[in-house]
Amino acid sequence: MDQIPFYQPQGDEAVLFEHAFQHQLPVLLKGPTGCGKTRFVR
């Protein structure tokens, strides 16, 4: 993938995900198909 996919963060989810990553904490992403879970992680 050459470009970073567009993703509009909701609330503080990006901050929470970054914190979990830095502290090696697991994160469960739930949502319907097509809601942007994979795009958020990328």
Instruction: State the Rg of the chain over Cα.
Output: 11
Does residue 37 contact residue 29 with C-beta atoms inside 8 Å? yes
- Asked if residue 24 is part of any domain, the answer here is yes
| pTM, rounded to two decimals | 0.61
Residue-level pLDDT at 23: 97
Residue-level pLDDT at 1: 57
Q: How far is CA 33 from CA 15, 17, 30, in A?
A: 23, 20, 9
Question: How many domains does the structure of the chain reveal?
Answer: 1
Q: Number of C-alpha atoms within 13 angstroms, CB side, residue 40?
A: 20
For residue range 1-42, what is the model confidence (pLDDT) as tens digits? 578 777 788 889 889 989 999 999 998 888 889 888 888 777
3-state secondary structure of 19: helix
Domain of 42 in residue numbering reads as 8-42
- Asked if residue 2 is part of any domain, the answer here is no
- Asked if residue 35 is part of any domain, the answer here is yes
- Asked if residue 1 is part of any domain, the answer here is no
Nearest to 35 by CA among 1, 7, 2, 3: 7
